[in-house]
């Protein structure tokens, strides 16, 4: 019993070290650009050990992709599907989501690229973790009917909200270049966006 516990702990450690190294490399270079050897080096272990824990590059990648989704979808899911007054919900979503993005800035570009490269690979997974837009779409329509906001298209509104939150992270090099900001300045800029996005959106949808 003791031995099992200890071994399991050791397992988890090495497995976890590998997975973290794999995340770093895969997030930055994508599936095709990542090298097993580089991941092994980054984890400080032998390449054969990668295959001992994760049998192939594909399976290691899948573990990484899962972790990427798990870091993101729950937050967006809870925020969008919760029953809560719309304006309050929007505020909470923007704040939570941008915080998650600041903590994991490389994940969106990674997921987007892999999904564009091979939409079939994990489309099922996306659906299983899937975000259900119906609740917030209904809330938008109700808020319009109640005269709380002006008449807007819920689907476009939802995509607008996501665009405003996520795009500055995926396009960071371009945006930072256009605005000619240093890393520190751009990081601050991203922090400010929480309030900027909220104000921008609220001004746009308020009943006139």
Partner DNA sequence: ATTTGGTTTAACCAGATGGTCAAAAGTACA
Partner DNA sequence: TGTACTTTTGACCATCTGGTTAAACCAAAT
29 binding DNA? (CB under 7 A): no
Closest CA to 108 of 23, 160, 169, 21: 169
**Integer Cα distance of 163 and 167 in angstroms:** 5
Among residues 28, 56, 128, 195, which is the contact residue for DNA, using CB under 7 A?
A: 56
Report the interface residues with a copy of itself, using CB under 8 A: 28-33, 106, 109, 111-113, 115-117, 119, 123, 126-127, 130-131, 133, 150, 152-153, 155-160, 162-164, 166-168, 170-175, 177-180, 189, 192-193, 196-197, 200-201, 203-205, 208
Query: Is residue 77 within the footprint of DNA (CB under 7 A)?
Result: no
47 binds DNA (CB under 7 A): yes
Q: Is 26 left (phi over 0), alpha (psi -120 to 50) or beta?
A: alpha
User: Of 20, 30, 41, 45, which lies in the binding site for DNA, with binding defined by CB under 7 A?
Assistant: 45
Angle at 78 between CA 63 and CA 29, to 5 degrees: 30
Question: Measured from the CB atom, is 87 or 160 closer to a copy of itself?
Answer: 160
Tokens standing for residue 128 = 């299983």
11, interface contact from DNA, a copy of itself, none, CB < 5-8 Å by kind: DNA
Distances (CA, A) of 208 to 141, 195, 204: 16, 21, 9
Q: Residue from 6, 70, 112, 123 that binds DNA (CB under 7 A)?
A: 6
Backbone angles phi, psi at 9, to 5 degrees: -60, -50
């Amino acid at each position: 019993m003791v031995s099992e516990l200890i071994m399991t702990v050791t397992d988890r450690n090495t497995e976890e070290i590998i997975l973290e190294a794999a995340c770093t490399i895969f997030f930055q270079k994508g599936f095709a650009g990542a090298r097993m050897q580089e991941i092994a080096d980054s984890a400080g272990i032998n390449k054969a050990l990668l295959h001992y824990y994760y049998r192939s590059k594909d399976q290691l990648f899948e573990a990484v992709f899962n972790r990427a989704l798990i870091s993101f979808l729950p937050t967006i899911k809870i925020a969008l599907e919760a029953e809560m007054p719309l304006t309050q919900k929007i505020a909470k979503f923007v704040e939570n989501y941008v915080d998650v993005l600041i903590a994991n800035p490389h994940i969106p570009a990674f997921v987007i690229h892999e999904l564009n490269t091979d939409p079939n690979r994990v489309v099922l997974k996306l659906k299983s973790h899937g975000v259900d837009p119906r609740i917030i779409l209904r809330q938008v329509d109700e808020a319009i009917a109640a005269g709380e906001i002006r008449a807007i298209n819920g689907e476009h509104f939802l995509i607008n909200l996501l665009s405003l939150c996520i795009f500055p992270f995926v396009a960071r090099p371009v945006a930072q270049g256009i605005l000619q900001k240093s890393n520190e300045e751009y990081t601050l800029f991203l922090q400010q966006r929480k309030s900027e996005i909220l104000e921008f959106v609220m001004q746009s949808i308020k009943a006139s």
